Amino acid sequence: MKVFVVSQSGREIIKGGLDLHDSATVSDLQEAIHGRRKKCYPSRQRLTLPLQPGSKERPVVLNPKKKIQEYCHENFNNLTVVLKDLGPQVSYRTLFFWEYLGPLVIYPIFYYFPVYQFLGFKGDRVIHPAQTYALYYWCFHYFKRIMETFFVHRFSHATSPLSNVFRNCAYYWTFGAYIAYYVNHPLYTPVSDLQMKVGFGLGLVCQISNFYCHLILKNLRCPDGGGGYQIPSGFLFNFVTCANYTTEIYQWLGFSIATQTVASYVFLVVAACIMTNWALAKHRRLKKLFDGKDGRPKYPRRWVILPPFL
């Protein structure tokens, strides 16, 4: 069969098109495109079906696992596909590793090294227990996130644009330095012993719950890493769609109660806004996928992220 590859403007990208077996998959097509355009490896390619001029519909994205024939009209042995180059890609593991490594390394620098002397503060620095516990708590959190990235999560998307590494690192590394600076500051005033224990206690329970939520999500996918979404259930997922985000938000609340800096509360609010946005999209997606029609299960009534508000 013949496949013509065009750009979004309709310009032919591969002169004369590509000849493929009738049983070829989209993945074979991607390899063939890569063969002709060395820079454009498969995960950089977004292949869609062309839209009618003026159409407002979303284009159909070709699934690499499907046969090309499935996208052809009956009795036609050729297909035109639109290729978009997504730019350089990195694996999700690489993305997550670099974004979490920053805070894991930056935070202890403020605790262990004479950063404040270097910044012009005179006199001895007295380290309060809250600052030491905060260091352990922080490092445990990011170490856990790196371990989960490599040994727990089963991602459905192969890659992410390289530019996201810079964007996400800027977010995590800057907040890491901002919070570390204030919590470890020589003029830091610790909260009462009770408040510290309540904060870290709540935070720790939520971190462990968050880990358990990630194990539940992991078990929704088969080990070969194939994509697809299931209705999460069990533990907090029986009540909340994005229980992992809920526990993440509450564990940062625990940290903020225990350390009480404006910086940690700012991070809490920003992180909660980001996760709420994502949770709304995930909730919508699951409700759409499991609409109760044509034999599909119906998505149960649940909170999105923060009961009893949302």
Ligand X SMILES: NC(=O)c1ccc[n+]([C@@H]2O[C@H](COP(=O)([O-])OP(=O)(O)OC[C@H]3O[C@@H](n4cnc5c(N)ncnc54)[C@H](OP(=O)(O)O)[C@@H]3O)[C@@H](O)[C@H]2O)c1
- Positions that interact with ligand X (CB under 6 A): 153-157, 210, 217, 220-221, 229-230, 232, 244-245, 248, 271, 274-275, 278
Tell me the closest approach of the beta carbon of residue 28 to ligand X, in angstroms.
Answer: 24
Using alpha carbons, select from 226, 208, 206 the residue that is nearest to residue 268.
206
Q: For the chain, how many residues are written?
A: 310
Residue nearest to ligand X (CB): 156
What span, in angstroms and rounded, lies between the C-alpha atoms of 211 and 152?
9
Shortest spacing between CB 232 and ligand X, in angstroms = 5
Nearer to ligand X, 165 or 275 (CB): 275
At 300 the three-state DSSP class reads: coil
Please, which residue, 49 or 269, has the CB nearer to ligand X? Answer: 269
CB of 155 to ligand X, least distance (A): 4
We find the least distance from the C-beta atom of residue 229 to ligand X, in angstroms, to be 4
Question: Is the preceding peptide bond at 308 cis, omega within 30 degrees of 0?
Answer: yes
Can you tell me which residue has the tokens 């923060």? 306
Cα 259 from Cα 265, distance rounded (Å): 10
Residue 69 vs 91, nearer CB to ligand X: 91
* Number of other CB atoms surrounding residue 134 within 10 Å: 28
Residue 83 identity (one-letter amino acid): L
| Distance in angstroms (rounded) separating the CA atoms of residues 41 and 200 | 46
Q: Please report how close the Cβ of residue 114 comes to ligand X at its closest, in angstroms.
A: 29
The helix or strand, by DSSP H or E, that contains position 159, with its residue range, turns out to be strand 159-161
Q: For residues 205 and 271, which CB has a smaller minimum distance to ligand X in the complex?
A: 271
Instruction: Indicate the residue among 184 and 244 with the shorter CB distance to ligand X.
Output: 244
